[in-house]
């Protein structure tokens, strides 16, 4: 995997989430699908998506350490329906948080995540969709990405 661009960084984190397995063998990929057909989308899902699905964004981005380090949050929004599947959605969110807890990748640049937080959103009142389950997961991501460090000048 690569940190050559923001899209590549997102793909690295997406691959980690969809490919993660708990000690019991459960995986977010069991519910969301894997590979390019997995239902974990960048920022917005297509209109015809089936539940469960998730969207993710890199937010609150800040560059530091003379332009070589980027700190950001990965926000994952998990959606499922009907409301009777809330327990299943909560379990899926546990697996996603497990995938992000302590993740480190040194393969091309450096990426690490700190333990995420998770919040189940309250039921949406009318005229919204009261049957929709929404869970928000946020993990801090620290990266020394290639898209920042590739331009550094040695000795400067």
Question: What was the pLDDT predicted at 147?
Answer: 72
Q: How many CA atoms lie within 13 A of 14 on its CB side?
A: 26
Say if residue 65's pLDDT is above 80: no
How many residues belong to the chain? Answer: 156
Peptide bond into 52 cis (omega under 30): yes
CB atoms within 10 A of CB 96: 26
Question: What was the pLDDT predicted at 149?
Answer: 63
**Residues 102-128: what's their mean pLDDT?**
90
pLDDT band for 128, please (50, 70, 90 cuts).
confident
Say if residue 11's pLDDT is above 60: yes
Write down all domains in the chain, each with its CATH number in brackets. 6-149 (3.30.2000.40)
Round the average pLDDT of the chain to a whole number and report it.
89
Distance CA 33, CA 14 (A): 11
Rg (CA), the chain: 17
């Amino acid at each position: 995997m690569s940190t050559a661009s923001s899209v590549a960084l997102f793909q690295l984190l997406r691959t980690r989430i969809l490919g993660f397995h708990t000690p019991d063998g459960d995986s977010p990929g069991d519910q969301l699908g894997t590979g390019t057909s997995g239902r974990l989308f960048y920022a917005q899902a297509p209109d015809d998506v089936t539940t469960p699905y998730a969207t993710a964004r890199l937010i609150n981005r800040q560059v530091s350490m003379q332009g070589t380090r980027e700190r950001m949050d990965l926000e994952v929004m998990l959606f499922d329906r009907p409301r009777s599947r809330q327990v299943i959605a909560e379990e899926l969110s546990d697996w996603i948080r497990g995938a992000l807890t302590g993740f480190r990748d040194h393969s091309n640049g450096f990426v690490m995540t700190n333990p995420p937080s998770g919040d189940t959103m309250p039921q949406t009142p009318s005229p919204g969709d009261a049957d929709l389950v929404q869970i928000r997961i946020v993990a801090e991501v620290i990266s020394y990405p290639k898209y920042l460090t590739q331009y550094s000048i040695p000795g400067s």
